[in-house]
């Protein structure tokens, strides 16, 4: 058994590491060829604030409400309980109530039990290890639902130390000087819907109420940083309420649909187009990688199937002009715009893959050598090409890239259904 350890120098570093470890637990995200940095740059451009570990829209409103409930405690109560412990206890209780209420609906009304309740399997067993406040924190800040630049750990620690609201809020926050500064600023820390009672969680369901849906709809619509994102464009071009685009079952279908909609901003359409082409371009590299795995395991029949799939892919790549003079710049543009670093190995690999595929009939042996070299450069002796593998090893690594569309699609569907209530 192997293990991994690290030394973190800040809570922000810790959040990043935990995010990477969470991604590694998701099916289909094993990044043997090191293209994950570019995938994530496209994802951050198209779906900022969303992540692959988010499940339902409800948590975008419940986490800020828990913070608001903590601020509503008396100073004496807050001194006795840190925000971190209050948050964990409240999130565990939230999971318990969601499970209980939906089980009751299932028993009494025959309603299906919903997907996406975080901590469902850990009710009564210490709670979820991946808590909603952590999974949604980037989105909560990006959408303006929690007005801070701090990490979740820094935010909880500062609140528990009874810091003034200035320590918690973003530097850009503006307020009417006529009110008590600290009280007013704490009021602006989180965006919530009006609640009649602090027992709001007792009768909670995973679906959004109409006021909750309206809050999220408004945030996605008006936050400037989201302007050219897919969710904001769907909302601001009236493509959201009819649900047609939400019917796109994968990212390729979504990108294709967006290209036919001139009302969507050119920036959004171009980014989606480039993302879909990037995905298709590097499917070929992963087909060769899986061919090498099959040959390593002496799976001759599977290797032949993968060779045929690659030939079919190569023919389509030529028809689609995937490897033209502008391609590399299109692949790198989101990372440059977001100032995201891309490793030297990855930059070299994508350029060499582009050159090899642009040339006429580059032998597959040369392509395989290129893929093997990149796997070794990216993973070293941890590369699957250098490790013992079980005979039943199936597809390895990234296949068709989805760029967080499945998660965004579910969350947007929740908002749309909540608006219809």
pLDDT at 198: 81
pLDDT per residue of the chain (421 residues) written in tens, 0 to 9: 344 444 444 444 544 444 444 444 344 457 999 999 999 999 999 999 999 999 999 999 999 999 999 988 888 888 889 999 999 999 999 999 999 999 999 999 999 999 999 999 988 888 778 899 999 999 999 999 999 999 999 998 887 665 555 555 555 555 444 444 554 566 678 889 988 778 898 999 999 999 999 999 999 999 999 999 999 999 999 898 888 899 999 999 999 999 999 999 999 999 999 999 999 999 999 999 999 999 999 999 999 999 999 999 999 999 999 999 999 999 999 999 999 999 999 999 999 999 999 998 899 999 999 999 999 999 998 999 999 999 888 899 888 999 999 999 999 999 999 999 8
Q: Which residues pair with 312 in a beta bridge?
A: none
| Residue whose C-alpha is closest to residue 238's, from 46, 82, 86, 419 | 419
Cα 113 from chain centroid?
24
Residues 330/274, Cβ–Cβ less than 8 Å? yes
User: Under the phi-then-psi rule, with left for phi > 0, alpha for psi from -120 to 50, and beta for the rest, what region is 263?
Assistant: alpha
- Please name the residue that has the structure tokens 């451009």: 45
Q: What's the alpha-carbon Rg for the chain, to the nearest Å?
A: 24
**pTM for the predicted model, two decimal places:** 0.87
- Residue 98 has φ and ψ, to the nearest 5°, of -60, -45
pLDDT at 7: 47
Find the Cα–Cα–Cα–Cα dihedral 164, 167, 173, 177, rounded to 10°: 30
CB-based burial, 214-249: b 16+ in 10 Å, e otherwise: ebbbebbeebeebebbbbbbbbbeebbeeeebbebe
pLDDT at 289: 97
Q: Would you call 372 helix, strand, or coil by DSSP? A: helix
pLDDT at 164: 53
Q: Would you call 50 helix, strand, or coil by DSSP? A: coil
Enclosing H/E stretch for 270: helix 266-296
CB-based burial, 403-414: b 16+ in 10 Å, e otherwise: bbbebbbbbbeb
pLDDT at 184: 53
Cβ partners under 8 Å of residue 274, min gap 6:
42, 330, 331, 333, 334
- The encoded tokens of residue 402 equal 């989805």
pLDDT at 315: 97
What is d(CA 345, CA 373) in angstroms, rounded to the nearest whole number? 10
pLDDT at 322: 97
- The encoded tokens of residue 71 equal 């601020």
């Amino acid at each position: 058994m192997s293990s991994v350890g690290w030394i973190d120098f800040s809570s922000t570093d810790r959040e990043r590491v935990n995010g990477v470890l969470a991604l590694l637990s998701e099916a289909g995200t094993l990044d043997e060829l090191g293209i994950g940095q570019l995938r994530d740059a496209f994802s951050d451009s198209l779906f900022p604030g969303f992540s692959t570990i988010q499940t339902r829209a409800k948590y975008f409103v419940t986490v800020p409400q828990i913070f608001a409930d903590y601020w509503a405690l008396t100073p004496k109560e807050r001194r006795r309980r840190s925000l971190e412990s209050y948050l964990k206890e409240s999130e565990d209780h939230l999971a318990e109530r969601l499970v209980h209420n939906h089980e009751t609906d299932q028993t009494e009304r025959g309603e299906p039990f919903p997907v996406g309740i975080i901590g469902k399997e850990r009710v009564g067993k210490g709670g979820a290890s991946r808590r909603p406040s952590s999974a949604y924190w980037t989105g909560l800040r990006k959408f303006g639902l929690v007005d801070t630049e701090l990490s979740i750990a820094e935010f909880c620690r500062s609140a528990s130390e009874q810091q003034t609201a200035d320590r918690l809020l973003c530097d850009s926050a503006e307020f009417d000087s006529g009110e008590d500064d600290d009280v007013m600023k704490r009021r602006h820390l989180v965006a919530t819907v009006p609640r009649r009672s602090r027992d709001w969680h007792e009768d909670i369901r995973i679906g959004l109420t109409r006021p909750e849906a309206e809050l999220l709809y408004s945030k996605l619509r008006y936050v400037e940083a989201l302007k050219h994102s897919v969710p904001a464009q769907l909302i601001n071009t009236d493509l959201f309420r009819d649900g047609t685009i939400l019917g796109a079952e994968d990212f390729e279908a979504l990108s294709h649909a967006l290209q036919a909609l001139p009302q969507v901003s050119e920036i959004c359409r171009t980014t989606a187009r480039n993302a879909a082409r990037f995905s298709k371009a590097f499917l070929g590299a992963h087909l060769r990688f899986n061919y090498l795995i099959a040959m390593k395991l002496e799976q001759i029949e599977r290797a032949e199937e993968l060779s045929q799939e690659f030939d079919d892919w190569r023919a389509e790549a030529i028809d689609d002009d995937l490897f033209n003079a502008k391609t590399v710049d299109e692949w790198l543009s989101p990372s440059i715009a977001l100032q995201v670093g891309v490793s030297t190995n990855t930059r070299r690999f994508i350029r060499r893959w582009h050159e090899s595929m642009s040339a006429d009939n580059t032998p597959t042996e040369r392509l395989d050598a290129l893929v093997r070299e990149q796997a070794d450069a990216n993973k070293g002796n941890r590369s699957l090409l250098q490790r013992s593998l079980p005979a039943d090893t199936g597809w390895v690594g990234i296949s068709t890239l989805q760029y967080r569309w499945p998660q965004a699609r579910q969350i947007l569907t929740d908002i749309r259904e909540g608006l219809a209530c």
